Amino acid sequence: MTITEILPSLGHLLHERFDGACWPSTASADEHGDLIVGGLGLTGLAARYGTPCLVLDEAQVRARVREFRAALPDAELAYAGKALLCKGLVRWLAEEGASFDVCSAGELHLVRAAGVDGSRILVHDNGKTKEDLKAAVHCPGARIVLDSFEELDTLEGIAGPGQQVLVRVTPDVDAHTHRSIATGVRGAKFGFDLRAGEAAEAVDRVLRSPNLELLGLHCHIGSQVSGVDSYEAAVRFMVGLLADIRERFGVCLPVLDIGGGFRVRYTEEEPEFDLTGFADRVRIALHYECDRFQLPAPRLILEPGRSIVARAGVTVYRVLAVKGSTVIVDGGMSDNPRPALYGARYRMRLLGRRSSAATVPLTVAGRHCESGDVLGEAVPLPADTRAGDLLAVACTGAYHVPLQSNYNLIGRPPLLAVRDGAARVLLRREGERDLMARDLG
């Protein structure tokens, strides 16, 4: 039994308390129950742009990039575009000194269209098509992360002399995360297996290629990784591999990409990732292992994506109906499939009015024709939540826009940038013309 069940009158007080841990750093609650983000009230944005809508706090994005760059100033910060990508965001990140990790020809072309130089781009995916590789080859200065022998064969056939590459290695480090986002263990679909001899063979082939230049090694242990020790183990493993490559092939590789996957705090109960501790332990492990093997320390590359943009995002929904303990909103799995895919949990809040009702656990469900279209279970909301209310969902800046669909032929919502009291549309809402444009009858 909860305290609100014992003393229901306390429910509204607990609900109104604003804990900013999962919200943008500029967020605050006003006396009317509105949330102010980037100097603008979310209820006003919902009235102007409609719902659902996704709001992105520019100041939060920029501040997070600066935190990473301050923690490891000598490392290259390559933002993982798969988390969220649009030209406006790319320009913010480029202005803050970030590079970009892209997964496809489409992501590459978008980043280039935003004015990013090819020397600040890594092309990286476990299943690149020939078209993806051609786009990378035709982007001067772009570096390609090789993930399979088939990619290596294709690249050797289309690349000119001097094409810079990294070899992705599976380090067999268990990051203790959800199995769908664990990428560094044996048997995963990513990278060359060291223990099966694939990594050494890939390195050998690249070194003997007349057109490819081996810059270094790459690994990625997973996503939503909370343990700093997992990254430390990966660094020790990879430096040992660098030492082995020097002994076997006589080369010292200058670059080590240790990926991203740093945990994001989606609810107050979840731990915050220790960025300072991560930086300290990775730096110590890197230099200790390099000294032990008498290797020059390679330059590190980090690939944060989710941890840059997740907290900057807030989604606003309107309640369509309430059926018992189920609240139905005007979005759902088409704009946020993560609860259905991973069981993801979010912090939600009534928006635009204060309630004196007790806080009760409610299910927030989407509008789609699926029983699994549930955005949250046992969500603490006022018992008088009703049709027409607005709900704000925290920490929705990562993997929402990229994973959106048009299920039930519903248009994708807009992405709005806010900063210093001004809003602008980064991605407009889709309408019926957009939905029909691909249908040629």
Q: In this structure, what token pair is assigned to residue 67?
A: 């935190």
Question: What is the per-residue DSSP string for 243-312?
Answer: HHHHHHHS----EEE----B----STTSPPP-HHHHHHHHHHHHHHHHHHHT-PPPEEEE--SHHHHTTT
The active-site residue out of 139, 290, 369, 395 is 369
Cα–Cα distance between 349 and 355 in angstroms, integer?
11
For residue 380, what is the enclosing H or E element? strand 374-382
Catalytic residue list contains 369? yes
- CB half-sphere exposure, 418, CA atoms < 13 A: 29
Angle, helices 275-293/228-249, rounded to nearest 10 degrees: 20
Is 264 in contact with 310 (CB distance < 8 Å)? yes
Cα–Cα distance between 218 and 169 in angstroms, integer?
6
- Cβ neighbours of residue 355 closer than 8 Å, sequence gap 6 or more: 12, 15, 33, 382, 384, 385
- CB half-sphere exposure, 326, CA atoms < 13 A: 10
Is 141 in contact with 130 (CB distance < 8 Å)? no
Active site residues: 369
